[in-house]
């Protein structure tokens, strides 16, 4: 009887669904018993829907610890494997697999988890159907193994990784997408047949139903840091903590106290003489954690209602950066409605207070959202409030329509200014690779969302129509795997009725069979005005002009990878009479799979570069610019990496003619003095990172940089030589953070 009972128990255990998977990269059939098995992978790069070029299969299994995914990738000897080691959030063309999940299945927010064949990982948040933001880093498990002509990947995505709706009953409905990329050719095969090259991507994920599970998590990440400034001969020590709490699937809270924003990351050097601001992404952990709910963007480049780089930005009194004392973020859902609440506060009398509220309601084929932000700036006696409604509508599988309506209200020193903006973005997918797109934008003269958000310019009325054709059925002997042609016509006027420009654009994107990438584009611009150049002292009439650029990226073959970009352009008051140019070349040499060196060179010449001097006085310059972008990446092992990054920028501008702008927008030559100028800029960083545990790091960072401007013209050799002597800042930073999970 005991033997019978024991046999029955063993049989029951073998027949029961597996509730635990050991993430070791080795696909054990016993562990994956009961999993959904996916074998119908189809090509999506090129996007022809044909069966995958290499055998690929996957398994999907819900466990109490998280959603488990396995890939088994066939790759015979005649298809070279990439052995390159990669850093987190890599963009290198290597063998890899992707898991993308929309936990609520509403097409609002997705999460991408990437594993390379050599074990490197990347993760990103997906919003607006096909917008990937890799600033976010999640805590999830992965492992890779190889056996003969196959390599396998196992992943485990914890249920606490993101907020999600409360599921009805004991089943959870979500949407998922799986793909596999062959590094040597760039071919991508996926299940289902969906592509981020289409206007609709998140919405086309495949619905699945899994067992309902929920996890609670309390994670506390304290940090300590020490900074020594070798220029000022002083030091600074600091400490703080980030807190993440998720008691259930429908609510999570994130808080930070005295966050440290030391330069463990280095922004690219930018010298901006234009009237519009340069957008810089945010990599600070608190501000990237589950930020997708606050995504409210328009078709205007980088525009958004909540731009977190405003928090801790230069203080309102102009003395250094704002000192963030604390910030908190709440995400969750009640019923089918998602919400997000955000607050951050800066110290002292010049400190600002930031607030945001987000609500989103999902329906069967549409989403409706509301967002509000408020910024209190007591030093400027200014309060800024912005509110917006967004609507995403997918009436049929062919249509995707996105609508935004928002407005701002600014109260400053007893005066109130308000205005509105609205955008409509419609994409239509036709047969045989044809697509169309329509965009309309209106931003009022006094619309101002930049206290908390980002908008490069207001006073805009923009329309465009674009038609596209994708070619994927190319001859077998063609060097191209696919081509994508686009033609666009657009018109743009400010809110005073002045024409900014009319434009015709033609572009072609090509993916080659050897994994390389090409992009070519030409813009033909009609005459118009520049209403921002003089900073409010009149619009400047400008003649017609054009610009054309070509980009070529060749992934690693042997020991080399290459990136080339070239451009021809006209502009200024000379129009098409004078042609400028730019060229950039960046080769990468791989000493080994883990160690690489790169050295990029950039040069340009702008024959008629218009710059504002003062009031209605502008200068037409001959501008020349040179960059050096060089460095080293050494992935020492799975836990350690060493990075060296050098950027040097030199710019020279020689005055050709000074002009005064009259009331009709004409530029009248004058003899008013405007100086030539030149400048040098340097950024240098050595960064060592050691990962002690998931999302726990030791950083040792040495950085040096400086900026110098001269009121005379100079050559590239002198400017570069001067830049390497710059030493406005020289710092050594040591930062230690450790994540405790309770």
Q: Enter the tokens of residue 154.
A: 């196992």
pLDDT tens profile 173-224: 999 999 999 999 999 999 999 999 998 999 999 999 999 998 999 999 999 9
Q: Enter the tokens of residue 572.
A: 């200024």
Between CA 429 and CA 198 the distance in angstroms is 8
> Does residue 139 have a pLDDT over 60?
yes
pLDDT at 271: 81
Between CA 22 and CA 11 the distance in angstroms is 21
Element holding 11 (H helix, E strand): helix 2-15
Contact 16, 25 (CB under 8 A): no
Contact 618, 658 (CB under 8 A): yes
Between CA 202 and CA 175 the distance in angstroms is 8
Q: Share the mean pLDDT of the chain.
A: 93
> What are the sequence ranges of the domains in the chain?
15-208, 235-261+277-456
For residues 161-169, average pLDDT: 86
pLDDT tens profile 301-348: 889 999 999 999 999 998 888 889 999 999 998 888 999 999 999 999
SS3 content of the chain, % helix, strand, coil (to 5): 5, 55, 35
pLDDT at 5: 42
pLDDT tens profile 464-481: 999 999 999 999 899 999
Secondary structure (3-state) at 339? strand
pLDDT tens profile 479-505: 999 999 999 999 999 999 999 999 999
> Does residue 3 have a pLDDT over 60?
no
Confidence (pTM): 0.90
Collect all residues with Cβ–Cβ distance below 8 Å to 246 and sequence separation of at least 6.
Answer: 160, 163, 215, 216, 217, 218, 252, 253
> Does residue 258 have a pLDDT over 90?
no
Q: Enter the tokens of residue 698.
A: 């030791």
Domain covering 15-208, topology: Immunoglobulin-like (2.60.40)
Contact 308, 461 (CB under 8 A): no
pLDDT at 263: 59
Q: Enter the tokens of residue 54.
A: 């290499």
Between CA 520 and CA 513 the distance in angstroms is 18
pLDDT at 150: 97
Least confident range from 136-150, 660-674, 713-727: namely: 713-727
Between CA 569 and CA 91 the distance in angstroms is 29
pLDDT tens profile 394-438: 999 899 999 999 999 999 999 999 999 999 999 999 999 999 999
> Does residue 11 have a pLDDT over 80?
no
Specify which residues 382 forms β-bridges with.
377, 412
pLDDT at 284: 82
pLDDT at 12: 37
Between CA 505 and CA 519 the distance in angstroms is 13
User: Which of the four pLDDT bands, split at 50, 70 and 90, describes residue 507?
Assistant: very high
Between CA 320 and CA 430 the distance in angstroms is 53
Between CA 189 and CA 56 the distance in angstroms is 8
Between CA 410 and CA 553 the distance in angstroms is 46
Between CA 332 and CA 306 the distance in angstroms is 18
Give the Cβ contact number of residue 381 at 10 Å.
Answer: 10
pLDDT at 7: 40
| Cross-sheet strand order for the sheet of 66-74 | 36-38, 56-63, 66-74, 150-157, 141-147
pLDDT tens profile 69-120: 999 999 999 999 999 999 999 999 999 999 999 999 988 899 999 999 999 9
pLDDT at 19: 56
User: Phi/psi at 204 (nearest 5 deg)?
Assistant: -95, 5
* Closest C-alpha among 51, 32, 54, 33 to residue 43: 51
- 216: number of CA atoms within 13 Å, CB side? 3
Contact 297, 128 (CB under 8 A): yes
∠ CA(189), CA(191), CA(194), 5° rounding? 80
pLDDT at 9: 37
Q: Enter the tokens of residue 184.
A: 């040597």
* Closest C-alpha among 126, 123, 165 to residue 291: 126
- 644: number of CA atoms within 13 Å, CB side? 9
Q: Enter the tokens of residue 691.
A: 């990962």
Between CA 23 and CA 144 the distance in angstroms is 9
Portion of the chain with pLDDT greater than 90, in percent: 82
Q: Rg (Cα) of the chain, in Å, rounded?
A: 27
* Closest C-alpha among 95, 91, 118 to residue 563: 91
**Residue 656 CB burial class (10 angstroms; 0-12, 13-18, ≥19):** middle
């Amino acid at each position: 009887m005991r033997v019978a009972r024991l046999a029955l128990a063993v049989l029951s255990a073998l027949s029961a669904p597996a509730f635990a998977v050991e993430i070791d990269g080795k696909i054990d059939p016993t562990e994956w018993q009961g999993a959904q098995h996916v074998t119908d992978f189809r090509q999506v790069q090129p996007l022809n829907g044909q069966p995958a070029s290499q055998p690929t299969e996957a398994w999907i299994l819900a466990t109490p610890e998280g959603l488990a995914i396995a890939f088994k990738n066939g790759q015979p000897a005649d298809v070279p494997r990439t052995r390159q080691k990669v850093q987190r959030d890599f963009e290198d063309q290597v063998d890899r697999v992707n898991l993308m999940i929309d936990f609520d299945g509403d097409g609002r927010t997705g999460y991408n988890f990437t594993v390379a064949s050599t074990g490197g990982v990347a993760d990103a948040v997906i919003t607006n159907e096909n917008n990937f933001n890799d600033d976010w880093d999640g805590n999830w498990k992965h492992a890779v193994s190889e056996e003969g002509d196959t390599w396998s990947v196992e992943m485990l995505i914890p249920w606490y990784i993101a907020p999600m709706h409360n599921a009805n009953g004991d089943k959870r409905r979500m949407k998922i997408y799986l793909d596999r990329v062959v590094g040597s050719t760039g071919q991508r095969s996926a299940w289902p047949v969906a592509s981020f090259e289409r206007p609709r991507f998140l919405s086309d994920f495949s619905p699945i139903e899994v067992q309902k599970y929920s996890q609670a998590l309390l994670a506390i990440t304290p940090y300590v840091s020490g900074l020594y400034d070798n220029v000022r001969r002083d030091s600074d020590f600091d400490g703080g903590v980030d807190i993440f709490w998720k008691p259930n699937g429908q609510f999570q809270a994130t808080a930070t106290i005295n966050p440290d924003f030391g330069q463990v990351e280095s922004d690219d050097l930018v010298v901006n003489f234009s009237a519009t601001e340069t957008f810089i992404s945010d990599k600070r952990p608190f501000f990237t954690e589950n930020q997708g709910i606050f995504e409210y963007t328009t078709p205007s480049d980088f525009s958004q209602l909540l731009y977190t780089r405003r928090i801790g930005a230069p203080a309102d009194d102009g003395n250094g950066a704002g000192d963030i004392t604390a910030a908190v973020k709440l995400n969750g859902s009640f019923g089918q409605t998602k919400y997000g609440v955000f607050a951050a506060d800066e110290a002292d009398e010049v400190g600002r207070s930031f607030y945001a509220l987000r609500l989103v309601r999902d329906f069967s084929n549409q989403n409706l959202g509301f967002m509000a932000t408020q910024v209190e700036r007591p030093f400027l006696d200014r309060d800024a409030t912005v509110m917006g409604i967004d609507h995403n509508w997918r009436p049929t599988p062919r249509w995707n329509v996105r609508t935004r309506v928002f407005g701002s209200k600014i109260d400053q020193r007893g005066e109130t200014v308000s205005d509105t903006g609205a955008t409509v973005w419609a994409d239509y997918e036709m047969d045989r690779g044809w697509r169309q797109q329509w965009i309309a934008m209106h931003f009022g003269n006094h619309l101002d969302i930049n206290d908390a958000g980002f908008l490069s310019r207001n006073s805009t009325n923009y329309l465009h129509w674009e038609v596209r054709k994708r070619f994927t059925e190319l001859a077998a002997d063609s060097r191209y795997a696919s081509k994508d042609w686009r033609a666009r016509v657009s018109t743009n006027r400010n809110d005073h009725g002045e024409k900014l420009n009319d434009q015709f654009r033609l572009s072609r994107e090509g993916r080659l069979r050897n994994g390389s990438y090409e992009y070519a584009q030409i813009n033909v611009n009609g005459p118009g005005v520049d209403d921002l150049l003089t900073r409010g002292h009149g619009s400047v009439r400008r003649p017609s002009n054009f610009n054309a650029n070509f980009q070529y990226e060749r992934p690693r073959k042997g020991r080399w990878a290459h990136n080339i970009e070239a451009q021809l352009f006209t502009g200024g008051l000379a129009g098409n009479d004078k042609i400028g140019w730019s060229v950039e070349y960046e080769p990468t040499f791989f000493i080994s799979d883990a160690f690489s060196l790169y050295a990029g060179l950039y040069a340009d010449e702008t024959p008629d570069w218009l710059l504002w001097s003062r009031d209605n006085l502008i200068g037409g310059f001959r501008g020349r610019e040179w960059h050096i972008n060089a460095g080293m990446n050494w992935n020492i092992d799975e836990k350690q990496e060493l990075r060296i990054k050098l950027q040097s920028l030199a710019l020279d501008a020689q005055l050709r003619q000074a002009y005064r702008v009259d009331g009709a927008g004409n530029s009248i030559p004058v003899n008013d003095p405007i100086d030539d100028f030149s400048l040098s800029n340097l950024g240098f960083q050595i960064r060592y990172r050691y990962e002690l545990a998931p999302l726990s790091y030791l950083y040792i960072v040495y950085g040096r940089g400086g900026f110098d401007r001269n009121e005379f013209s100079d050559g590239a050799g002198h400017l570069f030589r001067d830049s390497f002597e710059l030493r406005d800042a020289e710092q050594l930073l040591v930062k230690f953070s450790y994540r405790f999970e309770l």
